[in-house]
Structure 1
Amino acid sequence: MRTFSLLKGQPVYDQNDGSKIGEICDLCLTNNGMVKGLLVKKGVLFKQTFFLAIDKVASFGWDGIMINGLNQMEKIKTDPEYTFAHQHSINGKMLISTSGESLGLLQDVYFLEEKGTIVGYEITDGFFTDISEGKQVINPEIPPTIGEDAIIVDVK
């Protein structure tokens, strides 16, 4: 399990020849809170963004991601349903419980790399609250509903 903030910026390597392909720049998410894949920036001067399905990743390391060749990545044909930080971003969205209680603003996600399942949402109530009370993590038991204005989670 890791957070997106730890994954962002990590290099992607081709394990067949050891070449660096690009860097992770975002997560692609479905509207029920599953990680569908990763967005990888590739190139030196003219960077292009490619989609890498979560099941095409050979291994997730602490210092890089390994894949089996460039053919594992594909050009983005349509915009993803949701991303963490780019188009249709969920970063900074309000988390609301199914009982209507405001929980805070989304700051990071915890997910299982192998399955692509988000298991926790790190929220913030502001800088001073984070310092005085620490970060809060919401662990819903069922997948959330990601909407245009908020993320609805079932918390007990």
Structure 2
Amino acid sequence: MRTFSTVEGLPVISLANGHEYGHVIDLLYDEGTAKGFVIDPKGWFVKHQFLPIKSIMSIGTAGVMIGNSHVLKPLSLNEKKAIPLKTGKRRLHGTALLSAEGEKLGLLEDVYFMEELGTIIGYEVTEGLVADLVEGRKVVKSQGKLTVAGGRAILTE
């Protein structure tokens, strides 16, 4: 189990040749799973790339390891339809997380996911800086589908 914040900013490194291809800037979410990472490649005037979760060999504290550069793809229409965690207008970060009963659980800060399958298993939420300092952030288990619309995310069962 891992949070996106532990992966954000890590370099993407090939096991085949040791080359660094860029660094992780975002996670794309769709239908209850983490689909993959958005990579900011090295170099000028190079567009962001997509790294599917299933193509990752391992994730460590110093890098995200891939077999070779062929697993990095341009962002396709499917990936552009997915919901980003940190960047863009439709991002999940900072979105109000509501329960199916209509209770506000907090503002979404991070996600917990299984790195092998990309399954989202929980959401880290905050109720503000003071609450974070006094009580700490809460983790809400993902027991159903997350519906994102209208500037809010609703956990349904």
TM-score under structure 1 length normalisation: 0.92
Distance 2:48 2:66 in 1: 16
Matched residue SS, 1:98? coil
Q: How many angstroms does 1:118 deviate by?
A: 1.0
- Taking the aligned partners of 2:139 and 2:86, their CA distance within structure 1 comes to 19
> 1:152 Cα deviation (Å)?
1.1
* Unmatched tracts of structure 1, length 5 or more: none
Contact residue 120 and residue 142 of structure 2 kept, 8 A: no
Structure 1 residue identity aligned to 2:82: E
**Which residue number corresponds to residue 108 of structure 1?**
110
C-alpha distance in structure 1 between counterparts of 2:150 and 2:33, whole Å: 16
For residues 46-82 of structure 1, what are the alpha-carbon distances to aligned partners after superposition, in whole Å with 9 as ceiling and x for unaligned? 3431001111111122211111111101111322320
RMSD value, Cα: 1.5
Matched residue SS, 1:62: coil
- 1:3 aligns to 2:34 (yes or no): no
Equivalent position of 1:15 in the other structure = 15
Q: 1:92 aligns with which of 91, 94, 97?
A: 94
Give percent identity, aligned residues only.
34
| Structure 1 counterpart of 2:125, from 123, 126, 136 | 123
Supply the AA of the counterpart residue of 1:20.
E
Q: Which residue, 115, 126, 134 being the options, matches 1:132?
A: 134
Distance 2:39 2:93 in 1: 18
Which position in structure 2 is the counterpart of 1:25?
25
Structure 2 Cα separation of the partners of residues 39 and 145 of structure 1: 22
CA–CA distance in structure 2, aligned partners of residues 11 and 80 of structure 1: 25
